[in-house]
Amino acid sequence: MTAKRDYYEVLGVSKTTPINEIKTQYRKLALKFHPDRNKTKEAAEHFKEISEAYAVISDPEKRKIYDQHGHAGVDGRYSTDDIFQGASANFSDIFGRSGGGFDSIFESIFGRGGGFGAQQSRGSDLLYETSITLEEVLSGKKMEIELKKNIECNVCNGSGCKPGTNPNTCTSCNGQGQVRKTRSMGFASFVTVEPCSSCRGQGSIITDPCKECKGSGKKKGIKKLDFEIPPGVDNGDYTIPNEGDEIPGGQNGDLIVRIRILPHQNFKRDRADIFYDQDVSMIDAALGKEVTVPLLDGNEKIKIESGSQPNTIIKLKGKGLPHLNSRGRGDQYIRVVVNIPKKLSKHQKNMLEEIQNSFE
Ligand SMILES: [Zn+2]
Ligand SMILES: [Zn+2]
């Protein structure tokens, strides 16, 4: 058995490195040696090593013990399981939502139930793409869609068994669905609980499968779904939890609604604000004029002031799009585009020259 390396050395940091830098460093290393990315056995070992180091260093109490008494202090006080269990919050902080990808990495390395809660099978996420107009962004849009997806088999109610029959209890695990194994890691040994391989964690084996779903308990079906796209959305993906594929005995996947905002003939958009170009003749710009501009909902008379310069911006407060997560609406901006005539009759030319002379 080789001696354990210093935790700070393992992470490539020093005792005085600020904790947020240690976190960044750990994340970098963890991604590099992540078992999903790096399949070598050394990588898995190294991943365990850096994760253990980070679990201790990121926990103020364990870090204090380590700083004072070294590995002997920590190992004498905590099992490997304890080290990771207490730190799971730190890890989910780093790797996003708790119960997400990182927990399952630990499960694959340490075995199911290695301190991170039992793994649950989960249906696939589904993608639904839709395009909406700016007017619909203003009002929000009620959607009624039909999703083709895996749903529970209606013949066996998801059990996978031919109706009237029951699954047999798995003899390898006595119906527990899991088997206990003791393994040693470094100085510590701990017990892990792993899914039974005979029944793939189900605790039972189907001997007489349902004909409709061939024992899978699910089948392709159509589910009607109503939901509302809220006012103010932008291009992007929005998640509706639990509306993805269904999986018997597991958690549903999510439905990802991918929204694309269609281009608008009048308006350009920047978040909650919209932009509109109003053409005016150079005469109107000089003399002033009342014009009617379109809004997303209706229209409004505005005054082009006499002497308006090209690209003057007029703001209509609160006439933009709703803010997605707060009250109120953005603004509509009107840009005055001054049109200079490209062709003039002889008569018009003479008159303009006359005007020009009057300025001198
Ligand atoms: Zn069935
Ligand atoms: Zn079993």
Cβ-contact 217, 156 below 8 angstroms: yes
Cβ-contact 302, 293 below 8 angstroms: yes
Ligand nearest to the CA of 176: 2
Cα–Cα distance for residue pair 25/83, rounded to 1 Å: 19
Residue 210 alpha carbon to ligand 1 centre in Å: 5
The proportion of the chain whose per-residue pLDDT surpasses 90, expressed as a percent, equals 47
Residue 251 alpha carbon to ligand 1 centre in Å: 18
Mean pLDDT of 266-276: 96
Q: 7-110 adopts what CATH topology? A: Helix Hairpins (1.10.287)
Cα–Cα distance for residue pair 252/121, rounded to 1 Å: 9
Ligand nearest to the CA of 217: 1
pLDDT-derived band at 6 (thresholds 50, 70, 90) equals very high
Q: 268-359 adopts what CATH topology? A: HSP40/DNAj peptide-binding domain (2.60.260)
**Which pLDDT does position 279 carry in this prediction?**
96
Q: Residue 323 contacts by C-beta under 8 Å, 6 or more apart in sequence?
A: 232, 272, 329, 330
pTM of the model: 0.56
Ligand nearest to the CA of 216: 1
Ligand nearest to the CA of 161: 1
Higher pLDDT, 225 or 76: 225
> Could you identify the residue written with the tokens 């206990």?
180
CATH 2.60.260.20 fits 121-155+218-263, yes or no: yes
**Which pLDDT does position 188 carry in this prediction?**
56
**Which pLDDT does position 186 carry in this prediction?**
54
Cα–Cα distance for residue pair 276/336, rounded to 1 Å: 9
Residue 213 alpha carbon to ligand 2 centre in Å: 22
Tokens of 193: 């609980």
Residue 175 alpha carbon to ligand 1 centre in Å: 21
| Stretch among 175-189, 193-207, 274-288 having the lowest mean pLDDT | 175-189
Residue 179 alpha carbon to ligand 2 centre in Å: 8
Q: List the beta bridge partners of residue 223.
A: 147
- Please write the tens of the pLDDT for every residue from 117-165: 344 578 889 999 999 999 999 999 999 999 999 888 889 988 889 999 9
**Which pLDDT does position 8 carry in this prediction?**
94
Tokens of 306: 């006499």
- The residue type found at 36 is D
Q: Where in the chain is the domain with CATH 2.60.260.20?
A: 121-155+218-263, 268-359
pLDDT-derived band at 357 (thresholds 50, 70, 90) equals very high
pLDDT-derived band at 116 (thresholds 50, 70, 90) equals very low
